[in-house]
């Protein structure tokens, strides 16, 4: 997960500071030493780190801060503010043209995920901004690049414009825009060729496309796994093309965070979106303040709310809440919730957005093995409609039939039904305001792995975490609606 090592180091530094009633310049110096090392180990550009530490020191060494009643909290706030500024300060969105279509030219090196990002971003803006995108296959050099974009277009139900690989990219881009105007497309994404490294031929072609179509946005796709080298790549592209923003990909990988913390300072251009996984719906708008909160373990409730709103229908949520209160939640509901939660991301990532949950520990174990979830789904789908709607009716003979139909054992089916019934009781208690039920269950659980339904390890703990996140998302959505 992105920033994990950096986040752990920074949280450790600020938490140690938070234990002190009063802090001295020596305490601050020690904390900033840890912060500096954490940033350097995260592969953040050296000059960026140096300037960051300098700014924090200048603000924190203010006598009013050191002599205040809560100096540690103020220092943490300063670190948070400076991290936010380091990543751009405020979110900058796509600038849509006043006269359609808006033309977005995508650039980047090979392997950065540019073509996939074209599809992800187009689908995101279609869903969230109600746009009608057209994807343009402008990479005529990489084998199967056109086929890849066409496949992505089919998966996302998005049209792809192509003239094959014998027409120049400039001509393809020009004709694509005319096609968009004639067919009512208000958004055009031009997928351009990449290279393994920056070269003159690549830049010349990109500049020719820019001159021909005058794009409203030039977004650079950057692999966040490359650390501060990503900032160097972004700087080189910016000097040649004057890019308008960056899309950071692979932020779900084992990246140290150097790219996100260096790019804005090095180029002066904002990070607009981040790719958070391999699935075509795993892309997010980039909010510097929210990312800073995540890095420092303060959660990110706004993003969690947005994820919940995108996946949970209000009427369905209310109906589900009623079923929880009445203890009539069934296996059909569970499958539906499992799919919704899967779309929101991993359990670990969801819980990290809740303030304080990062201190829970062992969050890695909360991620459910896809094989276990597939096994759980197989058992439920081996039930008859009557059995799914009436879990209490599943006798031993029925359970043996379910085990045979799902290629599992009777013990695994028994375990699934037992855990489901326990969880249903817990949900009923939670929905009726008895949060003590959750606390008692959490308190009675020890360490060990979390297998989830149909898996091994301490399955109850994983289920409780899943229920807590789901309940939290439902309540947050309801609360936000009332606040409008």
366 is in an annotated binding site: no
CB atoms within 10 A of CB 349: 23
Where on the phi/psi map is residue 356: left (φ > 0), alpha (ψ -120 to 50), or beta?
left
**Count of alpha carbons within 13 angstroms of residue 143, beta-carbon side:** 0
> Distance between CA 269 and CA 466 in Å, rounded?
38
Question: 222: which strand partners?
Answer: 248
113 belongs to an annotated ligand binding site: yes
Residue 195 is labelled as binding a ligand: yes
339 annotated to bind ligand: no
Is 302 assigned a ligand-binding role in the annotation? no
Residue 251 among known ligand-binding residues: yes
258 is in an annotated binding site: no
Interior/surface letters 319-332, b for 16+ CB within 10 angstroms, e for the rest: ebbebbbeeebbbe
Which structure tokens are listed for 211? 């001159």
Q: Dihedral through CA 291, CA 359, CA 356, CA 76, nearest 10?
A: -60
Give phi and psi for 275, each to the nearest 5. -85, 125
110 known ligand binder: yes
Asked whether the beta carbons of 56 and 296 are under 8 A apart, the reply is no
Other CB atoms within 10 Å distance of the CB of residue 119:
24
Tell me whether residue 112 is annotated as binding.
yes
The pair of three-digit structure tokens given for residue 387, joined into one six-digit string = 């059995």
Is 212 annotated among the ligand-binding residues? no
- Asked whether 251 and 224 are in contact (CB, 8 A), the reply is yes
For residue 2, what are the contacts with CB-CB under 8 A and spacing of at least 6?
224, 251, 252, 253, 255, 257, 260
Task: Look at residues 394, 440, 385, 432 and name the one whose alpha carbon lies nearest to residue 415.
Answer: 394
249 is in an annotated binding site: yes
Say whether 384 sits in a helix, a strand or coil: coil
252 is in an annotated binding site: yes
Known binder of ligand: residue 484? no
SS3 (DSSP) at 220:
strand
> Alpha-carbon distance 22 to 30, whole Å?
14
SS3 19: coil
Q: Which residues partner with 275 through β-bridges?
A: 283
CB count, 10 Å around CB of 254? 10
Could you tell me where the DSSP H helices lie in 129-227?
145-156, 169-182, 200-213
Binding-site sequence positions: 108-115, 191-195, 249-252
Binding-site sequence positions for GTP: 108-115, 191-195, 249-252
């Amino acid at each position: 997960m992105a920033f994990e090592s950096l986040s752990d180091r920074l949280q450790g530094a600020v938490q140690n500071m938070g234990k002190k009633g009063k802090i001295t310049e020596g305490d601050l110096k020690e904390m900033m030493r840890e912060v500096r090392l954490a940033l350097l180990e995260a592969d953040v550009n050296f000059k960026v780190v140096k300037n960051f530490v300098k700014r924090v020191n200048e603000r924190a060494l203010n006598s009013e801060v050191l002599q205040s009643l809560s100096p540690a909290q103020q220092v943490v706030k300063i670190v948070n503010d400076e991290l936010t500024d380091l990543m751009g300060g405020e979110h900058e969105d796509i600038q849509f043209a006043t006269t359609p279509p808006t033309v977005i030219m995508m650039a980047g090196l090979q392997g950065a995920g540019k073509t996939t990002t074209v599809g992800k971003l187009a689908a995101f803006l279609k869903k969230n901004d109600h746009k009608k995108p057209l994807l343009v296959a402008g990479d005529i050099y990489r084998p199967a690049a056109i086929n890849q974009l066409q496949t992505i277009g089919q998966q996302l139900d998005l049209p792809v414009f192509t003239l094959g690989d014998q027409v120049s990219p400039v001509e393809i881009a020009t004709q694509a825009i005319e096609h968009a105007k004639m067919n009512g497309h208000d958004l055009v994404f031009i997928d351009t060729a990449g290279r393994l490294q920056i070269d003159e031929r690549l830049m010349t072609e990109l500049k020719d496309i820019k001159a021909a179509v005058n794009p409203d946005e030039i977004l650079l796709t950057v692999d966040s796994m490359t650390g501060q080298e990503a900032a160097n790549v972004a700087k080189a592209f910016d000097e040649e093309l004057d890019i308008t923003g960056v899309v950071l990909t692979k932020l779900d990988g084992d990246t140290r965070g150097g790219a996100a913390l260096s790019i804005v300072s090095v180029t002066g251009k904002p990070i607009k979106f981040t790719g958070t996984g391999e699935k075509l719906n795993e892309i997010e708008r980039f909010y510097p303040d929210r990312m800073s909160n995540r890095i420092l373990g303060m959660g990110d409730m706004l993003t969690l709310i947005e994820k919940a709103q995108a996946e949970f229908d209000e009427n369905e949520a209310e109906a589900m809440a009623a079923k929880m209160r009445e203890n009539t939640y069934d296996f059909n509901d569970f499958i539906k919730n499992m799919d919704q939660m899967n779309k929101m991301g991993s359990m670990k990532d969801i819980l990290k957005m809740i303030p304080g949950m990062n201190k829970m520990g062992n969050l890695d174990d909360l991620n459910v093995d896809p094989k276990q979830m597939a096994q759980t789904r197989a058992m439920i789908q081996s039930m008859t409609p009557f059995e799914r709607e009436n879990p209490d009716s599943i006798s031993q003979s029925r359970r043996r039939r379910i085990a045979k139909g799902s290629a599992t054992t009777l013990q695994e089916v028994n375990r699934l039904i037992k855990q489901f019934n326990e969880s249903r009781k817990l949900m009923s208690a939670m929905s009726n305001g008895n949060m003590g039920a959750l606390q008692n269950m959490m308190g009675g659980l020890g360490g060990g792995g979390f297998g989830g339904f149909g898996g091994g390890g301490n399955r109850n703990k994983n289920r409780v975490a899943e229920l807590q996140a789901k309940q939290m998302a439902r309540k947050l959505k309801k609360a936000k609606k009332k606040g409008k």
